[in-house]
Structure 1
């Protein structure tokens, strides 16, 4: 009697073990299937988001070309500056905004003259740092970062001596977030500077209609924040020419500290931001668009939801984050 009972017990244990193994295998297969489904869905949504982003670029290009034909100054009230309301698309919603990069300080204008920079911009950057209550030494650090000779000798030793060593670029900034790598620019300083600066090809002009109050103040001798606010006109400035802007300075007791040839009321570079939500998953993309007499072209694209990377963010926007975006040069 004991032997048959013992055999039945062993058979029951074997059966339970087989059932447990079968359950584990089925669960693993289901989990692998769900993972494969999620991976496929994410890939398809990523490709769909990229297609929508390219469509937004086409939409932005049409608006910029139309504005170019009108020969009107570029302002915050220009048609291209009006946001695209949320649009329902298969699988989600898209929206877009476009901001003028001509109204920000181009860091690459501080490059040596051989690279297209202009020394007239250095006092402006100095005063911009002062207006933002930032370390004045940042200006020299940025210039040294841009200078191939200084970056390869003196600056290289300083950067390589850091706990996390790396070499300075020794050339123009590829992206404004690269400023975070410059010696003396911590997260707090970067957050203050980001709304006022950008990285464009050297030699660009500054749009007086879309420049921030702090930047307008830095452009002028003996300017006060109140004078800059008066010229900014609460973001509604609409100067038809540089001469018209200059005509407003004498009554305020201020004057330009840079040649008027460095200023303009029209812009050649713009930042498109697209916000795409598909299946509840957000995709944020940025495109730097150049507009010239020959048409428009995309200079660079980046993806990420870091608002600090919106280098032309509204004045007063508080942004504090490290740069963490995938940037890809447009082909």
Structure 2
């Protein structure tokens, strides 16, 4: 038998080598094509999910102006505030709910439109902090930093004067990753994470979760009022130092199914519970002080600002958008949008 020549062996090895290279290239091209297909699919699904959450925002705006446009009372028993929306769509699901943004404490109101301190709101927010600190209401660590009100005040006021327990630029510039105090209104609740000595437990207590809504808002409108028909007990207790757990519960029950018809009805309920003895000089002075204090805080029984949380899941992609809507009569405008959770 004729032996195989060296040339034939080299040719065979070369052919095998070329075949291996072609196979590797083909597999790589197939993998790359599959990756491109999946990437394109994800992009299409993301865009589709984003359009769905925008549609949910539009739907919420429509719901907010249904019925009487001159209605002045908003309460928790209204259908749009108590009923979330969930629906299956082709390729996934969409869901969403509406919350009253003015049920929360307006921390930007610690200053006025000129960035100057508003003592009544600072005192109210301090009561809110004290309330959350008492009784381990924010977890096992004992609640909020007792100086939190002044920390927030220094973050949003326009000056560089440090309040007691507060922090201005020098405190933040000395951090490992330095930055400055905003010295302007907060744009998002997430800014709280940047504040001095605000720990994750405090932050989580502020922003709530799927079951418990946030306790504060960062609406950039210094005329925004607290809706006493939707505010939780924690916020109601911040209104006056003598509103304790018991009185707060009475105020919640006093709403009934349709809420207080006006702020005077709400204040009357507080007066009944405080029961000032006007024949006693000290209590008479407390009564006068109460009336003056109430004039400095903006309270309402209706709402202008609503928060819409919408989630769409299409294929492997999920998009969550939080929108702040402002209702003015029969007109609704989008003030702010953010993607993801707080």
TM-score, reference length from structure 1: 0.83
Contact 1:110–1:121, Cα closer than 8 Å, also in 2:
yes
Give the corresponding residue for 2:159. Answer: 149
Give how far 1:235 is off.
8.8
CA–CA distance in structure 2, aligned partners of residues 64 and 48 of structure 1: 25
Instruction: Return the match for 1:203 from 223, 229, 235.
Output: 223
Give the corresponding residue for 1:244. Answer: 265
TM-score, reference length from structure 2: 0.81
Give how far 1:119 is off.
2.7
Give the corresponding residue for 1:177. Answer: 190
Q: CA 1:203/1:70 → structure 2, altered by over 3 Å: closer, same or farther?
A: closer
Give the corresponding residue for 1:111. Answer: 111
Contact 1:208–1:265, Cα closer than 8 Å, also in 2:
yes
Give the corresponding residue for 1:87. Answer: 87
CA–CA distance in structure 1, aligned partners of residues 206 and 255 of structure 2: 18
Contact 2:106–2:219, Cα closer than 8 Å, also in 1:
yes
CA–CA distance in structure 2, aligned partners of residues 289 and 180 of structure 1: 24
Instruction: Return the match for 2:238 from 213, 218, 221.
Output: 218
CA–CA distance in structure 1, aligned partners of residues 320 and 191 of structure 2: 19
2:327 pairs with 1:291: yes
CA–CA distance in structure 2, aligned partners of residues 113 and 136 of structure 1: 26
Alignment map for 1:51-130 (pairs within 5 Å): 51-67=51-67, 69=69, 71-112=71-112, 114-115=114-115, 118-130=118-130
CA–CA distance in structure 1, aligned partners of residues 69 and 329 of structure 2: 9
Give the corresponding residue for 2:204. Answer: 191
Give how far 1:261 is off.
5.8
CA–CA distance in structure 2, aligned partners of residues 2 and 131 of structure 1: 100
Contact 2:308–2:323, Cα closer than 8 Å, also in 1:
yes
Instruction: Return the match for 2:308 from 252, 265, 272.
Output: 272
Q: CA 1:294/1:83 → structure 2, altered by over 3 Å: closer, same or farther?
A: closer
Q: Give the root-mean-square deviation of aligned CA atoms.
A: 2.6
CA–CA distance in structure 1, aligned partners of residues 88 and 65 of structure 2: 25
SS at the partner of 2:238? helix
Give how far 1:151 is off.
7.6
> Deviation digits for residues 145-165 of structure 1, max 9, x if unmatched?
11222289x711111100111
Instruction: Return the match for 1:138 from 148, 159, 171.
Output: 148
- Which range is displaced more, 236-245 or 131-140? 236-245
Give how far 1:295 is off.
1.2
Give how far 1:7 is off.
4.6
Q: CA 1:131/1:3 → structure 2, altered by over 3 Å: closer, same or farther?
A: farther
Unaligned ranges ≥5, structure 1: 310-331
* Count of residue correspondences: 305
CA–CA distance in structure 1, aligned partners of residues 151 and 317 of structure 2: 40
Instruction: Return the match for 2:249 from 216, 229, 234.
Output: 229
CA–CA distance in structure 2, aligned partners of residues 274 and 143 of structure 1: 32
Q: CA 1:148/1:250 → structure 2, altered by over 3 Å: closer, same or farther?
A: closer
Give the corresponding residue for 1:326. Answer: none
Unaligned ranges ≥5, structure 2: 134-143, 208-213, 276-286
CA–CA distance in structure 2, aligned partners of residues 129 and 108 of structure 1: 15
Q: CA 1:143/1:289 → structure 2, altered by over 3 Å: closer, same or farther?
A: same
Contact 1:137–1:184, Cα closer than 8 Å, also in 2:
no
Greater relative contact order (Cα < 8 A, sep 6+)? 2
Contact 2:127–2:241, Cα closer than 8 Å, also in 1:
no
Give how far 1:264 is off.
0.3
> Deviation digits for residues 90-142 of structure 1, max 9, x if unmatched?
32221110000011011110124524873311111001111111112111111
